[in-house]
Structure formats: C-alpha cells, structure tokens
Amino acid sequence: MTALCVVSLVAASVATASEAIPKHGGILEFASTVEPGNYDCHGNTSFAFLHPVAPHYSTLLKFDAANYPQIVGDLAQSWEVSPDRLTYTFKLRPNVLFHDDTRLTSADIKASYQRIMHPPPGVTSSRQVDFGAVTAIDTPDPLTVVFHLQWPDAAMLANFASPWNCIYSAAKLAEDPQFPKSHILGTGPFVFVEHKKGESWTGRRWDKYFQPGKPYLDGYVAQFMPAPAVMKAYETGRIMAEFRGVTPTQRDQLAETLGDRIATSESPWLSNLLVVFNTNRKPFDDARVRRALSLAIDRWGAAERLQGSTFLKYVGGLMRPGANLAMSEAELTTLPGFAHDITAARIEAKRLLAEAGLHDLSLTLLVRDIPIPHYAGADLLAQSWKEIGVAVNQ
C-alpha cells in the first residue's frame, strides 16, 4: 500500500495574501520524534533524520518541493544527458563555499559519490545500489563533473536529487572517511551550531549561502521529544511545526484548541509501507507461506479503513500512484494480493498454508516505533492474518 499524507502544522496567525510574501528573520522551532544516532547522510535511512540534518547540506540536484516531482539544480547550475543516456555532465555553480569558507569544486562531488558507491571500511552506504550503473566519474575542471554509466538508468536524475546524497568536503574525507558521522560541514543554507543530546539541534543562517537572499529564517531549533508529547508542545506554543504528521483526530483537536493560530497542510506521503519476512528462518523461507500472508491482506479495504486514523488512502504498486509509470487499478487487481475479492484470496491463503503443512502458525511482528502510520498498519496485519488462522505477537 502506498501511503499518503504527512500533516504539518504551524502555530501562527493565518496570513493574508500580502502577508504571504516571504520575509527575513525568525527562528523556526519544530518537533522531531527521532534523534540522529550519528550525522552521516549516506548511511542513515529514517527520513526523520533529514529534518535536523539536511538543512546543513546541499545535493547535486534536488526535487522542487512546490512542483514535485520536478527536478531542479542545487549545486548543479545546469546538466546534460547524452542521447544514449550513458553520460551525465553537470556544470557546478561558481563560488559555493563550505561553512569553513573553503570553496566547493568538482573534486568534492566526486569524493562524495565515490564514498556512496564504494564505501571505505567502517562506512555504511545505504544507497550504494542506486548508483550501480556508474562506472567512472571524471572532473575535467573544477566546475564540471561527468558520470559515466554502463547501462541507461531511468531513475538516475531522481537518484542524484535524493536528499540523502549530501555533498561532503573531499579534503575532510581524505583525512578521515568517517568524518561525517560525528561532524557537520556542508554548503547548505544553515550552519551547524550545536546538538544537545536528548534535547535539541540548532542551525544558524549561513550568510554566504550561494542562493541570493536565502534562507529567509535566521535559524531553526529541532526539539527532540516522544510522539505523545507533540500535541502538548503545540498547545503550549513550545513548537511551531512537526513534519511526521498527526492523526486526523489530533488535527481536528488542535484546530479546535488553537483556532486561527494554526494552519494545516496536507500532501501525499511519498513512501510506502512494507512487510519484510526473515527468509533465513522457517517458515518464511517457503514462498507459499509468504504468498499466503500477502493474500490475506485486504489492501483495498485497508485503504478505506485507515485513512481516517492515518491518512493512508491509496493502494499502489512499485510506482507512486498517479505517476506516469504507475499501474492503474485494473492492472493492479491482476496481481496476487491486489484482487478486490478478499474472501477468495483468503481461501487461497488457507490452502497454501495447509499445503505447506502449517495449521497453527504463530509469528512475531516487529513494528517501527512511530505511531503514524505503523501502529495502525500493524494492527491491520494482525487482524488480516487472524482471518486465516495465524496468531500474531506484536
């Protein structure tokens, strides 16, 4: 099921059209329910990591937040893709400075991507596979970087735009490949100030940022707190925003409590919910068991039931619903587990379990400690599997 919606709320007066013009100044205080264990973009995986850390960094390309999924340049001023899709040439912006006043060059781009593609010992690269097609990186001059591919990759520009692919200083990486795990040095709009463990993360406006007039904010403070504390933090004015989302019920509660001092923004959640089986252990090494558990999930009914508590409302395949290459509903329903007839699917699921010799299967479901949407999603799985005689421990 492809999920939907992150709700962010800002405790502030509702602006008129004239007041909507950006103004400089102010400190944004927001809640973060996850605290970074280390500072390395290349190795982390939770998108909550990006909230405090990403503002310190730049990437080669980036997604245009106002026109998703359009891709625009970040450090790249322009780029060209060869007709055979095997060569990507980027021209970098001149006069980009790291926060230690050293100048960014193509060597920094190359070193950062080499680290992603070929991580040194002790370095974790969570997106190494994204650049499996790249065979070489050339830097013909300080402001040009060229990526050579061994086969065309339709996702390559999107991979370059990933916010995880922070560009690091080649000099710092040469001194210590582990430097980014415990230090922050980027070219982004905000300079790192401090990380008070268990409390907060602070960034300050970088006055030498390469985008003229930006950032608008003087700085930001991420306040670390457990998810249950977010509502109270809104109500007391401790925070102005939270980016992981609240439930529809909580949204309505805040609107009632804070009135016109709060604004709500809703948009598609560009991610998905996955069920991962440990295939190194029985019975999950048996494809019949995995298929049975998948068939038992009422995806279409779940989309209807969960949207009221989690904003999950679309069913999708590998591609984002509504995207050019996404399957239509008619196409999806031809896939195992996506048929509308959940009764027939569960009959087949029971048959597969019996064929595998399992009549009293009990399993343990580990769930991410993030209430929205994972708790409700886990409850749905437990209920679905109970329908085919499978007991679930959560």
Position 347 confidence tier, pLDDT thresholds 50, 70, 90: very high
Which tens digit of pLDDT belongs to each residue from 89-139?
A: 999 999 999 999 999 999 999 999 999 999 999 999 999 999 999 999 999
Looking at per-residue confidence, does 9 or 61 come out higher? 61
Average pLDDT over residues 260-279: 79
What topology is assigned to 287-393 in CATH? Answer: Dipeptide-binding Protein; domain 3 (3.10.105)
Looking at per-residue confidence, does 377 or 79 come out higher? 79
Do 287-393 and 39-182 fall under one CATH topology? no
The predicted model scores a pTM of 0.83
Position 13 confidence tier, pLDDT thresholds 50, 70, 90: very low
pLDDT at site 269: 66
Which tens digit of pLDDT belongs to each residue from 131-160?
A: 999 999 999 999 999 999 999 999 999 999
Domain segments of the chain as ranges? 1-27+225-265, 39-182, 287-393
pLDDT at site 223: 97
Architecture of domain 39-182: Alpha-Beta Complex (3.90)
3-state secondary structure the chain: CECCEEEEEEECCCCCCHHHCCCCCCEEEEEECCCCCCCCCCCCCCHHHHHHHHHHCCCCEEECHHHCCCEEECCEEEEEECCCCCEEEEEECCCCECCCCCECCHHHHHHHHHHHHCCCCCCCCCCHHHHCCEEEEEEEECCEEEEEECCCCCCHHHHHCCCCCCCCCHHHHHHCCCHHHHCCCCCCCEEEEEEECCCEEEEEECCCCCCCCCCCCCEEEEEECCHHHHHHHHHHCCCCEECCCCCHHHHHHHHHHHHHHEEEEEEECCCECCCCCCCCCCCCCCHHHHHHHHHCCCHHHHHHHHHHHHCCCCCCCCCCCCCCCCCCHHHHCCCCCCCCCHHHHHHHHHHHHHHCCCCCCEEECCCCCCHHHHHHHHHHHHHHHHCCCCEEEC
Which tens digit of pLDDT belongs to each residue from 156-192?
A: 999 999 999 999 999 999 999 999 999 999 999 999 9
Position 228 confidence tier, pLDDT thresholds 50, 70, 90: confident
Position 380 confidence tier, pLDDT thresholds 50, 70, 90: confident
pLDDT at site 31: 94
